[in-house]
């Protein structure tokens, strides 16, 4: 993954979060988003990270981080104890995405999910022309050597949401290109966006 889309991704997510709220970042990595939120929005941020070295980086930033595996669920977390639960570029890595999404929306009033888009046009062309999984974006490593467990397009995610009683309240699309790319990504995100960011809630019963 190149550095630029990651930053853009986190900035977009941060822009979607109201100040003075409580945020849980699942798969918080080295704590970039948490720090950004604490410093710029007076957010009370908590993170969960599975990789020990990244947990230690979070500690070095003074962040409140729990070393753990989000695939085991969030049973220690009370219902609606956060305003937002963020899952940034992590959904495709977990082994049970359905469980993780359900847990997110139990613990948080809102979820923010960012998804690398396998429907992005270079992916499609790579697959069509070469007949092999393209090695770009989050698929930069060969298939046998990547933590990516699930291949998902933005349409797939929207479909999953509507099937599972999840409402998309807002969406943002990220692309590396110039203004034309951004226009295209806005119009046909499943083809032209590298990343989709969705603010989701549970459909009221």
Partner 1 sequence: MAGDEPQMEQAQPRPDLPPWQQPDSVGLVEPKDYTFAEPPNEMPLDSGAKLGPITLAYETYGQLDEQKRNAVLLCHALSGDAHVAGYNSPSDRKPGWWDAMVGPGKAFDTRRYFVICPNCIGGCKGSTGPMSINPATGRPYARSFPVVTMADMVRAQKALVEHLGIRTLLTVVGGSMGGMQVLEWAINYPDAVWSAIPIASTPRLSAQGIAFNVVGRQAILDDPNFRDGNYYDGEPPRRGLAIARMLGHITYLSDESMHEKFGRQLRDRDDYSYEFDVDFEVESYLQHQGQVFTERFDPNSYLYITRAMDYFDLAGKHGSLEAAFRHVRSRFLIIAFSSDWLYPPYQSKEIVSVLRASRAHFAYCEIPSPYGHDAFLLEKDRIGRLISDFLALEYSRALAHPG
Please say which residue, 77 or 198, places its beta carbon nearer to partner 1: 77
**Which 8-state DSSP code applies to residue 177?**
S
Smallest distance from partner 1 to CB 61, Å: 6
Q: Which is nearer to partner 1, 30 or 88 (CB)?
A: 30
d(CA 43, CA 161): 27
CB of 88 to partner 1, least distance (A): 18
Nearer to partner 1 by Cβ, of 25 and 57: the residue is 57
Burial of 132 (0-12, 13-18, 19+ CB in 10 A): exposed
CB of 55 to partner 1, least distance (A): 5
The least CB distance from residue 29 to partner 1, in Å, is 12
Taking the C-alpha atoms of residue 183 and residue 177, their distance in angstroms, rounded to an integer, is: 10
Helix (H, G, I), strand (E, B) or coil at 154: helix
State phi, psi for 175 to the nearest 5 degrees.
-145, 155
Which CB atom, from 44 or from 146, has the smaller least distance to partner 1? Answer: 44
Contacts with partner 1, residue ranges (CB under 8 A): 30, 44, 46, 52, 55-68, 76-78
- Check: CB of residue 107 under 8 Å from CB of residue 82: yes
């Amino acid at each position: 993954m190149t550095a630029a889309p990651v930053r853009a991704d986190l900035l977009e997510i941060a822009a979607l979060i109201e100040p003075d709220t409580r945020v849980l970042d699942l798969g918080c990595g080295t704590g970039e988003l948490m720090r950004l939120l604490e410093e710029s929005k007076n957010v009370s941020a908590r993170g969960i990270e599975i990789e020990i070295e990244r947990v230690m980086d979070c500690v070095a930033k003074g962040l409140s981080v729990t070393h753990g595996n989000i695939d085991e669920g969030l049973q220690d977390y009370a219902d609606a104890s956060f305003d937002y639960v963020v899952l940034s570029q992590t959904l495709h890595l977990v082994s049970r995405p359905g469980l993780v999404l359900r847990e997110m929306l139990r613990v948080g009033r809102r979820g923010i999910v960012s998804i690398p888009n396998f429907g992005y046009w270079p992916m499609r062309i790579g697959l069509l022309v070469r007949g092999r999984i393209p090695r770009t974006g989050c698929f930069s490593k060969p298939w046998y050597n990547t933590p990516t467990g699930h291949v998902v397009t933005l349409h797939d995610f929207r479909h999953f949401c509507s099937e599972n009683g999840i409402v998309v309240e807002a969406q943002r699309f990220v692309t590396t290109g110039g203004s034309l790319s951004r226009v295209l990504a806005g119009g046909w995100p499943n083809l032209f966006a590298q990343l989709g960011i969705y603010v989701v809630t549970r459909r009221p019963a």
